[in-house]
Structure 1
Amino acid sequence: MRERPAGQAAVLLDFTATPAPRAATMAAIAALRRASESGGLPGIVDLVPTATTILVQGTPETGIDDLALHRALRGGGQSTDDDDADEVVIPVHYDGPDLHDVALHLGWTPGAVVASHTGIAWRVEFMGFAPGFGYLVPDDPEDRCPPCELPRRDESRPRVDAGSVAVAAGYSAVYPGASPGGWNLLGHTDFPLWDAAADPPTPLRAGTIVRFVDAGEPR
C-alpha cells in the first residue's frame, strides 16, 4: 500500500501494487469503517473507496491520526464476510432493449442471460459516475457472469432511464437517475436508489451485497 497526499487533511491509500488490489481495497474499507464507527478514527469525516484506492478525509482542525489509521488497517482485515455486509434485493423486469442482442452475441437464450445475472450475489465495489450509482462485481471471485463481461456499446445513448439495469466490462449497475450511458441494458426496476431527502440517500455503499431477482413481465 502506498500513501499519497491528497490536499488538506486527506490521504489517498493506493493498493494498486498490492497483491489482489481489489480484495485488499475491500478489506481495508471494511476495516476503516468499523474503526470509524467504533470511535477508533477520530477526526475522519469521509472514506471514499474506488476499485483500488481509498480517500481518507480528515478535518482541517485535527488532520489524520496516522497511528490510529495504521492500527485500524492492521487490526481490521479479518472480518470481510457477508455477516458484516448490508444486503439489498432488487426486483428486475428483464425487458431491456439490449437483452436479445446480448443473448445473440453469446449464443444464449434471453432466459439464460437472466439466469446468469440473477444467479450470483453481487457486491458494490465502489460508488461513482452519479449519486447512487454502484459498480457491482461478483461477490465470489469464482463466479462469472458472461453477459456482464461484454464491452460497452459502441455508441452511448443520450438518455438512459432511471431504474435501468445494465451490464458492461465486468460490472453490473442500476442507473439511479436518467443520464447518458453506454452500458448494455437488460431490464428495469422500480427500486429507488437515490433520494436526496432520505437518510441515507441511497441504500448502497461499498461492500453492500446486491441480489437481483426476476420480477417477471411488467404490467
Structure 2
Amino acid sequence: MTSASTADVVKILPVGDRALLLELDGPAEVHALHVEIERRRRDGRLPAVEEVIPAARTILIDGLADPMRFAREVTDWQVPPAEVDDRGLVEVPTIYDGADLEQVARHWHMTTREVIATHASVEHRVAFCGFAPGFAYITGLPPECTVPRRANPRTAVPAGSVALAGEFTGIYPRPSPGGWQLIGRAEVSLWDPNRDPATLLSPGTRVRFVELGS
C-alpha cells in the first residue's frame, strides 16, 4: 500500500459502544495500518485502547473511550507502506513429509523437492491469529502458490502439522480437525500459558521454516 489517507482504504463500523471495526482491502493494507497503530501506541499518539486485533481484512480496536472521535481522526492518517518488523526472526525446524505434499506439488506444477525449496526459501510473516490458541495465519508465499483446502477435512490433524490453505501457512498448535493441506511437521511449542508471551507467533512476527532431515 502506498502512502495514503486511511479515508481511501478503510470502512469504519461501530462495534458496541467502545469498539470500532476497520475494514480494508486485504492483508497488505491490514499489516500497514496495524504497524501504524502500534507505532502510534508506542509514541503515545493513540488514545488508550484495550485490544488491537488484526484479521485477514479487518482490524478491531476495542476499549475506546470515544470511538467516534477516533473514527474521525483515523481518516486523516497518512499510512506509509509497512516496514520490516523489527522483532527477531522465529525459525521453525520442519520435516517436510506431509501427507498432502505430493498433491501440493501437482497443484504448483512442481516436484516435491521444489515445493520444499520454495516454502523454506521464503521469509514469512504472521498476518493474524485465530482458530485456536497459538494458531497463526502466516503469509509470504508468492501469489501463484495458493492451494485450496481439502474437499474432505480430516477429523484429526496432529499437533505440529505444517499446512497450507489459500495464501496462508499454518502450524496446528494441538490435535484438532482440519481441512488444510499437510506438507510437514514442526517441533515447536506454539502456545504455553506459563510463558510470557504465551504465544510464540503474533501478528507481524517474521518466520522462516528450516528444513530438517526426515
The answer to whether the superposition gives a TM-score over 0.5 is yes
**Structure 2 SS opposite 1:101:** helix
User: Does the Cα contact within 8 Å between 2:163 and 2:180 map onto a contact in 1?
Assistant: yes
Given candidates 90, 97, 112, the residue that maps to 2:92 is 90
1:100-131: per-residue Cα shift (whole Å, max 9, x none)? Answer: 23224444322111011111111111111111
Q: 1:190 & 1:102 partners in 2: Cα distance?
A: 22
1:149-207: per-residue Cα shift (whole Å, max 9, x none)? Answer: 12111100011111100012121111111111001101101111111222111122222
Q: 1:91 & 1:104 partners in 2: Cα distance?
A: 24
User: Does the Cα contact within 8 Å between 2:97 and 2:185 map onto a contact in 1?
Assistant: yes
User: Does the Cα contact within 8 Å between 1:32 and 1:69 map onto a contact in 2?
Assistant: no
Given candidates 15, 19, 24, the residue that maps to 1:10 is 19
1:126 maps to: 128
Residues 1:51 and 1:69: Cα distance change in structure 2 (over 3 Å) = farther
User: Does the Cα contact within 8 Å between 1:116 and 1:145 map onto a contact in 2?
Assistant: no
1:144 maps to: 142
Cα deviation, residue 37, structure 1: 2.6
User: Does the Cα contact within 8 Å between 1:47 and 1:57 map onto a contact in 2?
Assistant: yes
Cα deviation, residue 40, structure 1: 2.4
Residues 1:199 and 1:106: Cα distance change in structure 2 (over 3 Å) = same
1:80 maps to: 82
User: Does the Cα contact within 8 Å between 1:29 and 1:49 map onto a contact in 2?
Assistant: yes
Given candidates 46, 51, 61, the residue that maps to 2:56 is 51
Alignment length, in residue pairs?
205
Q: 2:186 & 2:162 partners in 1: Cα distance?
A: 7
Q: 2:173 & 2:73 partners in 1: Cα distance?
A: 35
Q: 1:65 & 1:87 partners in 2: Cα distance?
A: 37
User: Does the Cα contact within 8 Å between 1:28 and 1:73 map onto a contact in 2?
Assistant: no
Q: Which amino acid aligns with 1:175?
A: Y
Q: Give the fraction of aligned pairs with identical amino acids, expressed as a percent.
A: 39
1:155 maps to: 152
User: Does the Cα contact within 8 Å between 1:32 and 1:72 map onto a contact in 2?
Assistant: no
2:3 maps to: none
Q: Which amino acid aligns with 1:122?
A: H
- Equivalences for residues 129-208 of structure 1 within 5 A: 129-138=131-140, 144=142, 146=144, 148-208=145-205
TM-score of the two chains, using structure 2 as the length reference: 0.85
User: Does the Cα contact within 8 Å between 1:88 and 1:208 map onto a contact in 2?
Assistant: yes
RMSD: 2.4
For structure 2, the 5+ residue unaligned runs are 1-9
1:54-73: per-residue Cα shift (whole Å, max 9, x none)? Answer: 100015xx344835983697
User: Does the Cα contact within 8 Å between 1:149 and 1:170 map onto a contact in 2?
Assistant: yes
For structure 1, the 5+ residue unaligned runs are none
Residues 1:70 and 1:203: Cα distance change in structure 2 (over 3 Å) = farther
